[in-house]
Chain A
Amino acid sequence: MASELILLEMKVSPFAPRVKIALREKGLEFEAREEDLLNKSSLLLEMNPVRKQIPVLIHNGKPICDSFTIVQYIDEVWNHKSPLLPSDPFERARARFWADYIDKKIYPIAKKLWIAPEGESMEAAKKELLESFKTLETELGEQPYFGGKSFGAFDISLITYHCYFHAFERLGNFSMVKECPKLVEWGERCMEKESVSKSLCDPIAIYEEALETRRILGV
């Protein structure tokens, strides 16, 4: 029986595209449905009643929530091709540790930068963001991917921020290629993969959303 896969997502999100990349890496067909978080669908509320957030993957009617948990689920169910997590437990732990770091650090700092008034606050947010990116660059080292020789779950967790680089640069008034050249190079390498380029959000749409948020808040 063909799997029925529905992804509840949002137009601008660093989380939902992770699921799309994972599904595409495995060659899976799916239906993406866009949610409006100010007017959540009854399906979303039924499928994720506890946290009421996207992404949610609905597989043959059963929901799986939290983007990295979904990526692991996809890897475990469709384990015959394109492994997303390494086979070695220590390397798997490394991927999980850094996926968690990206959610703990990059996401909240990006949110701060989004609405930081120009001046000290913006400079502080930018400094924090660049420090985290540089920590990640150190972790990348000389490898082509964070996963090592192959693209994997660690890369998937971070690459969804690639389309946010443009907005970060414009808001923070800096150049990613000057500050984090290795990360930019890694990003371009990942973008050569169709699963990635097809799944990421539009950088211009992201920047426009940031400007709109700032306008509404009066920043």
Chain B
Amino acid sequence: MAEQVKLFKTWSTPFGLRITWALQLKGISYEAIDEDLSNKSALLLQYNPVYKKVPVLVHNGKPISESLVILEYIDETWKQNPILPEDPLERANARFWAKFSDEKLILSVWSAFTKEGKEREEAMDASLKNLKFVEEELKGKKFFGGEKIGLADIVFGWLGNLLPIFEEVSGLKLLDDRFPSLLAWTKELSELPVVKYNWPPHDKMIIKYQALYEKFHPVK
């Protein structure tokens, strides 16, 4: 039976982008379906009734949700170009940093982008502290995964595109020369064909996040 792989995402979601990278790195044919989150398709609601969110991967009719879960599923189903290392301790380390990206770093950066006054300052401090941990982990390595990209690179990928958009829109200064390893890493990452050719359009992203920024920071 021919494989049927579908990816439900949006044009801008960094979480969906991770899955695009993983599928393309492994050379898997798939159909991409861009959702309009203000008008979710019946299929999306059927495939992800718990969260009703993207991304959702549907493999031969079976849905998998949550980007980190999807990435592990892809790696276990299609063994070429592994995303996770073989050694259990290294796997645990990759999973640790994947969780750190999504449970700590994204949240502190989002707070810095959306909050005002003292809360914004505190979120900035937290973000810088979190970035410092990531910088330390990366030091001396081309990628988090070593010579080739791995789970942590894919999961931290939003630092290469979404974060600079946040900075451009809000004037926040986060990923700068205080973090030389991270800056070098974003350059290396962005040179990879799967990354370079899949970044969402810059101008469209600026418009979207500018509008979002103005919602959180209404001009008085």
On A, residues with C-beta under 8 Å from B are 50-51, 59, 62, 64-66, 69-70, 72-73, 76-77, 89-90, 92-93, 96-97, 100-101, 135
Interchain CB contact under 8 A, A97 and B69: yes
Q: Compute how far the CA of A62 lies from the CA of B73 in the bound complex, rounded to whole angstroms.
A: 27
Task: Using C-beta atoms within 8 Å of the partner chain, give the interface range for chain B.
Answer: 20 to 34
Interchain CB contact under 8 A, A90 and B95: no
Interchain CB contact under 8 A, A69 and B92: yes
Q: A69-B95, A100-B68 are in contact. List 14 more A-B contacts (CB 8 A).
A: A50-B133, A51-B100, A64-B89, A65-B92, A65-B96, A72-B91, A72-B95, A73-B91, A73-B92, A89-B77, A90-B59, A92-B72, A97-B64, A97-B66
Interchain CB contact under 8 A, B50 and A101: yes
Sample (8) of A-B pairs whose CB atoms are under 8 Å apart: A69-B99, A72-B91, A77-B88, A89-B77, A92-B76, A93-B69, A96-B69, A135-B50
Q: Compute how far the CA of A72 lies from the CA of B69 in the bound complex, rounded to whole angstroms.
A: 13
Interchain CB contact under 8 A, A93 and B50: no
Which applies to chain B's interface (DSSP): helix, strand, loop or mixed? helix
- Given the known inter-chain contacts A50-B100, A50-B133, A51-B100, please indicate yes or no for A90 contacting B92, CB distance below 8 A: no
Q: Compute how far the CA of A80 lies from the CA of B89 in the bound complex, rounded to whole angstroms.
A: 17
* A-B interface contact total, Cβ < 8 Å: 58
- Given the known inter-chain contacts A101-B50, A135-B50, please indicate yes or no for A66 contacting B95, CB distance below 8 A: yes
Chain B: minimal CB distance from A53 (Å): 11
On B, residues with C-beta under 8 Å from A are 50, 59, 62, 64-66, 68-70, 72-73, 76-77, 88-89, 91-92, 95-96, 99-100, 104, 133
4 tightest CB-CB pairs across the interface, nearest first? A76-B88, A89-B76, A93-B73, A73-B92
Instruction: Determine the chain A residues whose CB is within 8 A of the CB of B72 once the complex forms.
Output: 92-93, 96
Pick the residue among B62, B88, B99 that contacts A66 (CB under 8 A).
B99
Chain A: minimal CB distance from B46 (Å): 15
Instruction: Determine the chain B residues whose CB is within 8 A of the CB of A59 once the complex forms.
Output: 89
Q: Compute how far the CA of A135 lies from the CA of B50 in the bound complex, rounded to whole angstroms.
A: 9
Interchain CB contact under 8 A, A64 and B77: no
CB closest residue in chain B, given A92: B76
- Given the known inter-chain contacts A76-B91, A100-B68, A135-B50, please indicate yes or no for A90 contacting B96, CB distance below 8 A: no
Interchain CB contact under 8 A, B100 and A93: no
Instruction: Determine the chain B residues whose CB is within 8 A of the CB of A62 once the complex forms.
Output: 89
Q: Compute how far the CA of A77 lies from the CA of B88 in the bound complex, rounded to whole angstroms.
A: 6
Q: Compute how far the CA of A51 lies from the CA of B69 in the bound complex, rounded to whole angstroms.
A: 22
Instruction: Determine the chain A residues whose CB is within 8 A of the CB of B104 once the complex forms.
Output: 51
Interchain CB contact under 8 A, B64 and A66: no
CB closest residue in chain B, given A79: B88
Chain B: minimal CB distance from A6 (Å): 15
Chain A: minimal CB distance from B25 (Å): 17
Instruction: Determine the chain A residues whose CB is within 8 A of the CB of B76 once the complex forms.
Output: 89, 92
Instruction: Determine the chain A residues whose CB is within 8 A of the CB of B66 once the complex forms.
Output: 96-97, 100
Chain A: minimal CB distance from B155 (Å): 14
- Given the known inter-chain contacts A50-B133, A51-B100, A66-B99, please indicate yes or no for A93 contacting B92, CB distance below 8 A: no
Q: Compute how far the CA of A77 lies from the CA of B76 in the bound complex, rounded to whole angstroms.
A: 17
**Which has the most chain B C-beta neighbours within 10 Å: A50, A90, A96?**
A50
CB closest residue in chain A, given B73: A93
Chain B: minimal CB distance from A35 (Å): 18
Instruction: Determine the chain B residues whose CB is within 8 A of the CB of A77 once the complex forms.
Output: 88
CB closest residue in chain B, given A89: B76
Instruction: Determine the chain B residues whose CB is within 8 A of the CB of A90 once the complex forms.
Output: 59, 62, 64, 73
Interchain CB contact under 8 A, A64 and B64: no
**Which has the most chain A C-beta neighbours within 10 Å: B50, B77, B88?**
B88
Q: Compute how far the CA of A180 lies from the CA of B101 in the bound complex, rounded to whole angstroms.
A: 35
Q: Compute how far the CA of A62 lies from the CA of B92 in the bound complex, rounded to whole angstroms.
A: 11
**Which has the most chain B C-beta neighbours within 10 Å: A65, A89, A96?**
A89
Q: Compute how far the CA of A62 lies from the CA of B133 in the bound complex, rounded to whole angstroms.
A: 18
Instruction: Determine the chain B residues whose CB is within 8 A of the CB of A66 once the complex forms.
Output: 95-96, 99
